[in-house]
Amino acid sequence: MSLSGHHAVVTGAGSGIGRATAERLAEAGCQVTLIGRHIGRLNESADRIGDLAFAAPADVTDPDALAAAIEAGRDRFGPIDILVNNAGAATSAPFLKTSADNLRAMLALNLEAPAEAARLVLPGMLTRRWGRIVNVASTAGVKGYAYVSAYVAAKHGLVGLTRALAMEVASKGVTVNAVCPGFTDTDLVARSVDAIVGKTGRSEDEARTALAASNPQGRLITPDEVAQTIVWLCGDGASGINGAALPVAGGEL
């Protein structure tokens, strides 16, 4: 599959799924603007990719900073054809200990920032009558998990946004889809492992095994598996896929 001549924006591109996605897009010939908070990690990603990558640091929850980063990408590579909303995070607490501020923070990062990014790139896609928006949700976007109610609510909202926007643009050459990874071997899962170790006294291996147990294949998903799914959704061969929430979870859903 070739995406040569296209320009993609990937948020949370400094590590994990975001970095793997940026690398896979570049392998397909796509120019990629990398957005994230940590300039060091972004530069590492850009260096791994080469001339097809441009690092534009920004906190995606800051609308002005996000807009500036996207505009910098346009200045470098031209119109944006592909948006991968990957930046996200989870906090863990029982519902009764989840504050309103925590809920708002999870909504800001996992729902409002992807919506804002879509607002910034969608007009150009509609004008050119071609575009791909892929939101990295989670299995938490389509099922419940205990002790992460704010995260689950935000990811459910992201899946809902995906489905609604997909219907609006269905006849205009643009597709909007979500991928829903299960527990994936990323920094987010590493933090979950640390939390389990700290709260239960289990070893790191025991904690990772407990998380992997939710996958019927008995393993963690790899970032590259998610990245390859995202890149497929960006190609012409997936032009009939719209409004989907595709699980990458070994059969968990």
Please give the single-letter amino acid code of residue 122. Answer: L
Cβ burial, residue 161 (10 Å; 0-12/13-18/19+): buried
Cβ-proximal residues to 60 (8 Å cutoff; 6+ apart), any chain = 11, 12, 35, 37, 66, 87, 109, 113, 116, 117
For residue 56, CA distances in Å to 69, 101, 143 come to 5, 28, 34
Give the separation between CA 109 and CA 119, rounded to whole angstroms: 15
Q: Structure tokens of 199?
A: 């709260």
Catalytic residue among 54, 77, 130, 151: 151
DSSP, collapsed to helix, strand or coil, labels residue 174 as: strand
Q: For residue 198, is it left (φ>0), alpha (ψ between -120 and 50) or beta? A: alpha
**145 is an active site residue:** no
Give the separation between CA 173 and CA 175, rounded to whole angstroms: 7
Catalytic (active-site) positions: 151
